[in-house]
Structure 1
Amino acid sequence: MKAIRLNVMCKLALTAVILFVFTMGGTAFAQTPSSPAQLPGPADPKEVESFLDQFFAREDIMKKAGAVSVAVVKEGQVLANKGYGIANKSSGLPVDPDQTVFRIASVSKVFTAVAAMQLVDQGKISLKDNIEKYLDGYKVRNPFGTPVTVSDLLAHASGFEVRDPDSDSIVFDPSVQPPSLEKEIFKNFPPVLRKPGESYMYDNFAYSLLAYIVQKVSGEEFTQYTEKHIFEPLGMTSTSFALSDKLKSRLASTYDSSGNELPVYRLSSKEAPAGSMIATTGDMARFMSAFLTGAPAKDGKPLLSPASITAMSSYQLAIQEQVPDTTYGFEAGAYLSEKTNGQFVIAKGGDILGFSSLLWLLPQQKVGVFITYNTSANIRDDLFSAFMDHYYPGKTSFGPSAFSPQPTAKLEQLGGIYSDLRSSSLLMKIKATGNGTLEGSGSFGHHQFKQVDQYVFVDEAGKPLAFKTDAQGKVTYLKYVNVSYSAKLPAAAGFPDIPANHPYAGYIYPLQTIKLLTEDASKPFQPLSTVSRGQFLHDILQQFNVPASAQPAPFKDILSSPYKTDIQTAVALGLAAGAGKDRFEPERAILRQEAAVIITRLLKASNVPVPPGKNNLAPGTDAWAVSAVQNVLNMKLYGPEVLVENGQIDYGSTRPLNKQEFAAIRLLLVAPIE
């Protein structure tokens, strides 16, 4: 169910995958550094190699692993640099940690930050600079009196409207020339929607803009700048933001779910500084050692000044002090936060089509680990947990040792629906359930939270939930396992015929809150009125962001229908069919089983996994719809109208779908808000 609710608002097919390109933030942190002298940590190369060998020999890891490479450093010494698996199934060539290159995706941003900080060290850029200084007269659409600064870009705090990679960002055709970084930047420059410096939204555009500023100030193309000033001085001879023929021949192959090798692709723009870097773990070990120790590079100069290394190793933004967000270049993602065992960790993860990576550092201990591999499995999470438990056993705790939970009435200010700043389809509903306790439901499942500080709570597994307030004390954001903040949405206006205790209010109000219901709130909602075939297609295709089709549909009765384009699109995609004799019957009420078929087809077309399995379905479903109805039941895409009697599930397949039932389906396609 999780995959469904996280992806249904994406575009079809490849676009649904591309939205995750360059996306992953850092993945671990701790609140208070411990004294390095008291920590065991990795020390002996043979012991570290033995630990890694045992980890990658685990049956669960072997099932996930394809080609993997990992490096561990401490105080400038490489304790391990080792490959596992084969780089290409056809050749059987084993992974060589000094030769096999991997796409490291958003770990690239660390190096974009390094490039910017080098120019800060030289006095050519100031962290306080208004970014308009570098935009050749372009004026940022910013309604706030506070400008976007270089510091804001580095900390993902620009306040920009989201600009993420789309289906054009991955280029398979070798004859296509990706646009330049400058052209890509100004093609769709985002407006500022939130006051700069106050909120955290993981921002690929900000890092592309940083690279553009590096180009403007240095007079060198970004790729050439990083080669000359970062990779060459550190001896990183197998690392680049450009996929040269030499490196392409050493790139680990990647495969689709059927085991077919994917073609090698390039990224757009040409430089793609937010996620195009490729590297070996041997090279990444060189970087980690230089960054952690401040040792000079081959040219005798340090990579960065001590002040810049400190800035990149210190959290610059935090929703609450115990729950930090970002340094310059690294982040503190929430979904592994309870596994740092009380250690101070900075990290950067990355995912791109066919590859995943994770870089994490313990600056106090001068320890660094980097793992990269050619699958999308969560091997990195497993390694992080195993590594921390093995070398730094302990427990992460949040809040003061003695904290008195606040009364329910005080916690009610936290209640409401929150929408992720980067992906509005990621929703979470919070409500106070008792003294010091909250309940949350939505895209991340259903959880109970215990208060450990005024605005900090932990779930059943110890993961933190934190809230942010504005200067007036009004709750504005929360952060849970999502990478970015989620904004608190205004309460729904409601409808005069939908009281708070209405059995479908829990679906209709949230749907109105997230603006998927745009009907006039001053008029009755008429929850029992039926939904026409045309209206159903219009609403569901809009919700899925399905692009319109120009292909005409052969139905005489849709020519004057306001849903003509929606019907044409649905038929062209094979989602819906006519009613016979050149008719579609757009105004006829859609049956519940018809809706189930369309939803199932749309989910499958969107590459959303549809769980198999049979339920004990009551008689009354037509044979052509049984499979789809079973799918909808398995996904729990229904409201309280579905009944179980005598062990059989009555879906009401041949009944017309009404508005309140459709509201339940639409909300559950976004998130299981309760």
Structure 2
Amino acid sequence: MSQGHHNLENKMILRNIRLVIVGYFLVLCLTIPVRALGNSDLDNPKIIEAFVDGLVIPLMKNHQSPSGTVSIVKAGKLIFSKGYGFQNIEKNIGVEADKTLFRTGSVSKLLTWVSVMQMVEQGKLDLDGDVNAYLKTFQIKDTFPGQPITMRHIMTHTAGFEDGSVGYLISDDPARIMPLAHSMKRYQPERVNPPGKQAAYSNYGAALAGLIVANLSGVEFADYVQKNILDVLGMESSSFEEPLPRHMSENAAVAYAREGGAYIAKPFEIISNFAPAGALSATSTDMVKFAQAILNGGEYKGARILEAETVKQMLSHNFSQDDRLMGLALGFYEVERNGLRLMGHEGDTHYFHSDLVIDKKNEIALFVSFSAAGGYTVRSAFTGSFYDVFYPAVIEKITAPTDFGDRSGKYAGNYLLWRSSFSKIDKAMGILGGAISVQPTADNTLVVDLWGKASHYVEIDNNLFRKVDGPEKIAFQENDHGEIIGFIMDSYPAMSTYKAPFYRASGYQNSLLGLSILVFIGVMLRLAYRWDGFRALSGEEKKAAKASVIAAGVNLAALSLLGVVLVTVGDKMFSEIQVLFKVWLIMPFLVVLAGIYHMYQMVLVWKIGLYNGIWTRIRYSLITFSAMFMAWFYYFWNLLGFHYFS
């Protein structure tokens, strides 16, 4: 599932739970006697509405999500459908589940995968054949000779592509829309892993699959889906077209961001250059029509989009980094919830957060979508809360092995997602953090700090751990030498991790960055305090002193200007690399030149004995170290050079 977007703090979670419990029971007590609920209560519309209202309304209010939609089907029947909040705040238009369109984000991919399987049914596509055979205007790079990427790799997110998005994935300018073939050629990422080895979620892979559907069908992707899926299923309020047709745009939920204590309307998000990966707009009632077709073996109300055997193939387990965990079917995520195997996909744009869930065993499907940043929290809480109430399960209590401390050290470290950029400036977002910390504890558990949310895990099998107070599992990967090289979380089956080297840890780099900044500030303060002494210098000592001033000045200027540029351009960088930033990219080159010049002067300082006293020379060397660290820093984060798609 698309992931954008995982920073849920413990205090917020606890507060959410309290709000859910209070809201749910206040409403429920007005309608039915208080008692434990179960799946039979899904036949009572009042109970369902009481539950959803009690969950959604408080969460939306407290997390500032202005609009939402929920639709649930069971055994072929729509048992709940309701809109929440406002489609348009300024015009005071409320959300209607069967009328208001939401951006589904990566849930769109499920329709792309169905389109792919339609090509398979028609004999036009081999899931295990080289995808280059289906591309007309360009080819995927042969980075790993003899190991071509197949459609099965793409559908299980194991193609091995690096990730990327800065400057091109989502835009607000329709003029930047280009043919899908052009964008796939232009924005082709590097291959960083052999296919089939590591799960790394890829928007590019899904968009490439849509291009292949267009090539094989002879029809533009959006038109193909419209004719062969949306029209067939009667999804009359759904479209991949961007911008939306006028009759649909009037019913689209406005994108909002919370700024300065108010909801500020944002432009319609354009994802057309990667349309198969996330461009669908739809009502929640339309989305559960699609879900019902999957539940029913490809058929909905007499209309068929796939043969039953093909659907069975799509929903079968296809890949997992560890067979003891859930993984990936063909495009669908597998998630275990209270002992049940759920299928589906989450989706996130900048302003909308959605989830489609299919429960084959209980013939249930649901779709939810909520807007603004707070919508992520509401979306993320829904499915788990639904199953905890209507399909509860007892969490087996486990105890940590008493001898775990003997082997716990090998798991310690910082881990990073393979779903990352390695060759473009997107990598620089890692400066802010993003590593997952794993550390052993004195009570024979592992504490896993997942983006600010720490949880304790207990060993239950070789390299397999379960959360102390929940069912979530993680499985560590081991190389042939018995060394831990990564892990996979069952809640994120398309995002395996690798163990990061020590220098990649943000704490290590930030410490050196902070030290370097202090050194540079010290140089400039010393210059101001001893200006007359600086002016009195001559010869080689004057050159050496100037080198320090230049190195400090250039580095402080580079960092200061970067801050100004980022504040000025804001989130526009995500839709297009801004001119100001392109100009700033000259600064790291100056940093490198200043560092090299200072290193040359340092050699002279030691060689010919400039300055009086060894401590003065050591201080000078510290400035050199700081200058060269900054040069390496910009190089490491792909900020030395113009590493972006033009």
- Please say whether Structure 1 and Structure 2 have the same fold, judged by a TM-score greater than 0.5: yes
Query: Are 1:456 and 2:464 counterparts?
Result: yes
* Counterpart residue identity of residue 372, structure 1: S
Provide the residue aligned with 2:34 in structure 1: none
Mark the CA change 1:5 to 1:514 in structure 2 (over 3 Å): closer, same or farther.
farther
Provide the residue aligned with 1:487 in structure 2: 498
Aligned partners of 1:512 and 1:518 also within 8 Å? no
Provide the residue aligned with 2:80 in structure 1: 80
Provide the residue aligned with 1:552 in structure 2: none
TM-fit CA distance, 1:178: 1.1
- Greater mean alpha carbon deviation, residues 421-430 or residues 388-397: 421-430
Provide the residue aligned with 2:280 in structure 1: 277
Superposed counterparts of 1:8-23, under 5 Å:
none
Structure-1 separation of matches of 2:218 and 2:113: 17
Superposed counterparts of 1:147-162, under 5 Å:
147-162=148-163
TM-fit CA distance, 1:443: 3.8
TM-fit CA distance, 1:431: 4.2
Query: Are 1:384 and 2:404 counterparts?
Result: no
Aligned partners of 2:256 and 2:265 also within 8 Å? yes
Q: Describe the superposition over 1:133-183 as per-residue Cα deviations: whole angstroms up to 9, x where unpaired.
A: 112362523225322110010011111122x32234333345x24111111
Provide the residue aligned with 2:412 in structure 1: 415
Mark the CA change 1:535 to 1:230 in structure 2 (over 3 Å): closer, same or farther.
farther
Provide the residue aligned with 1:49 in structure 2: 49
Structure-2 separation of matches of 1:528 and 1:568: 13
Give the TM-score taking structure 1 as reference length.
Answer: 0.66
Provide the residue aligned with 2:332 in structure 1: 330
Superposed counterparts of 1:245-324, under 5 Å:
245-258=246-259, 259-270=262-273, 272-294=275-297, 296-297=299-300, 300=302, 302-324=304-326
| 1:532 counterpart (490, 509, 520) | 520
- RMSD over aligned CA atoms reads 4.1
Aligned partners of 2:298 and 2:307 also within 8 Å? no
Q: Describe the superposition over 1:517-551 as per-residue Cα deviations: whole angstroms up to 9, x where unpaired.
A: 999xxxxxxx9997324999xxxxxxxxxxxxxxx
Mark the CA change 1:266 to 1:410 in structure 2 (over 3 Å): closer, same or farther.
closer
Aligned partners of 1:71 and 1:370 also within 8 Å? yes
Provide the residue aligned with 1:11 in structure 2: none
TM-fit CA distance, 1:108: 0.7
Structure-2 separation of matches of 1:42 and 1:188: 46
Q: Report the identity percentage.
A: 24
* Counterpart residue identity of residue 279, structure 2: S
Aligned partners of 2:353 and 2:371 also within 8 Å? yes
Mark the CA change 1:431 to 1:178 in structure 2 (over 3 Å): closer, same or farther.
same
* Counterpart residue identity of residue 75, structure 1: A
Structure-1 separation of matches of 2:199 and 2:523: 37
Structure-2 separation of matches of 1:329 and 1:294: 16
Provide the residue aligned with 2:345 in structure 1: 348
Mark the CA change 1:327 to 1:529 in structure 2 (over 3 Å): closer, same or farther.
closer
Mark the CA change 1:446 to 1:76 in structure 2 (over 3 Å): closer, same or farther.
closer
Mark the CA change 1:154 to 1:396 in structure 2 (over 3 Å): closer, same or farther.
farther
Mark the CA change 1:106 to 1:437 in structure 2 (over 3 Å): closer, same or farther.
same
Q: How many residues align?
A: 505
Query: Are 1:209 and 2:208 counterparts?
Result: yes
TM-fit CA distance, 1:345: 1.1
Q: Describe the superposition over 1:545-573 as per-residue Cα deviations: whole angstroms up to 9, x where unpaired.
A: xxxxxxxxxxxx79993577654444445
Aligned partners of 1:342 and 1:396 also within 8 Å? no
Provide the residue aligned with 1:428 in structure 2: 436
Aligned partners of 1:68 and 1:95 also within 8 Å? yes
Aligned partners of 1:144 and 1:195 also within 8 Å? no
Mark the CA change 1:535 to 1:413 in structure 2 (over 3 Å): closer, same or farther.
farther
Give the TM-score taking structure 2 as reference length.
Answer: 0.69
Mark the CA change 1:561 to 1:126 in structure 2 (over 3 Å): closer, same or farther.
same
Structure-1 separation of matches of 2:406 and 2:314: 41
Q: What SS class does the counterpart of residue 339 from structure 2 fall into?
A: coil
Aligned partners of 2:445 and 2:458 also within 8 Å? yes
Structure-1 separation of matches of 2:142 and 2:551: 35
Provide the residue aligned with 1:358 in structure 2: 355
Structure-2 separation of matches of 1:564 and 1:285: 60
Aligned partners of 2:395 and 2:469 also within 8 Å? no
Structure-1 separation of matches of 2:94 and 2:220: 35
| 2:487 counterpart (478, 481, 493) | 478
Provide the residue aligned with 1:561 in structure 2: 550
Q: Describe the superposition over 1:351-402 as per-residue Cα deviations: whole angstroms up to 9, x where unpaired.
A: 112211111111111101111122232112222232112210113569xx99
Structure-1 separation of matches of 2:130 and 2:387: 40
Superposed counterparts of 1:35-184, under 5 Å:
40=40, 42-57=42-57, 59-64=58-63, 65-136=65-136, 138-143=139-144, 145-162=146-163, 164-174=164-174, 176-184=175-183
* Counterpart residue identity of residue 307, structure 1: E
Structure-2 separation of matches of 1:512 and 1:201: 22
Q: Which runs of 5+ in 2 are unaligned?
A: 9-37, 421-426, 525-545, 572-621, 638-646
Mark the CA change 1:132 to 1:461 in structure 2 (over 3 Å): closer, same or farther.
same
TM-fit CA distance, 1:49: 3.2
Q: Describe the superposition over 1:463-510 as per-residue Cα deviations: whole angstroms up to 9, x where unpaired.
A: 3222123466543321246661111235x5xxxxxxxxxxxxxxxx56
Aligned partners of 1:475 and 1:488 also within 8 Å? yes
Mark the CA change 1:474 to 1:305 in structure 2 (over 3 Å): closer, same or farther.
farther
Q: Describe the superposition over 1:571-622 as per-residue Cα deviations: whole angstroms up to 9, x where unpaired.
A: 44566xxxxxxxxxxxxxxxxxxxxxxxxx9899978xxxxxxxxxxxxxxx
Aligned partners of 2:436 and 2:448 also within 8 Å? yes
TM-fit CA distance, 1:455: 1.8
Q: What SS class does the counterpart of residue 344 from structure 1 fall into?
A: strand
Mark the CA change 1:166 to 1:445 in structure 2 (over 3 Å): closer, same or farther.
same
* Counterpart residue identity of residue 253, structure 2: A
Q: Describe the superposition over 1:195-233 as per-residue Cα deviations: whole angstroms up to 9, x where unpaired.
A: 211211111111011101111111111000100100000
Structure-1 separation of matches of 2:129 and 2:43: 42
Aligned partners of 1:170 and 1:267 also within 8 Å? yes
Mark the CA change 1:413 to 1:100 in structure 2 (over 3 Å): closer, same or farther.
same
Aligned partners of 2:114 and 2:306 also within 8 Å? yes
Q: Describe the superposition over 1:8-44 as per-residue Cα deviations: whole angstroms up to 9, x where unpaired.
A: xxxxxxxxxxxxxxxxxxxxxxxxxxxxxx9647334
Structure-1 separation of matches of 2:522 and 2:566: 16
Q: What SS class does the counterpart of residue 262 from structure 1 fall into?
A: strand
Determine which structure has greater relative contact order: mean sequence separation of CA pairs < 8 Å that are 6+ residues apart, divided by chain length.
1
TM-fit CA distance, 1:191: 2.7
Aligned partners of 2:333 and 2:343 also within 8 Å? yes
Q: What SS class does the counterpart of residue 248 from structure 2 fall into?
A: helix
- Greater mean alpha carbon deviation, residues 317-326 or residues 428-437: 428-437
TM-fit CA distance, 1:421: 1.3
TM-fit CA distance, 1:304: 1.6
Structure-1 separation of matches of 2:198 and 2:345: 19
Structure-1 separation of matches of 2:393 and 2:450: 31
Structure-1 separation of matches of 2:280 and 2:231: 15
Structure-2 separation of matches of 1:534 and 1:105: 49
Provide the residue aligned with 1:371 in structure 2: 368
Provide the residue aligned with 1:625 in structure 2: none
Structure-2 separation of matches of 1:87 and 1:146: 48
TM-fit CA distance, 1:245: 2.0
Q: Which runs of 5+ in 1 are unaligned?
A: 8-37, 493-508, 520-526, 537-556, 576-600, 608-655
Structure-2 separation of matches of 1:304 and 1:534: 69
Structure-1 separation of matches of 2:356 and 2:6: 29
Greater share of helix: 2
* Counterpart residue identity of residue 120, structure 1: V
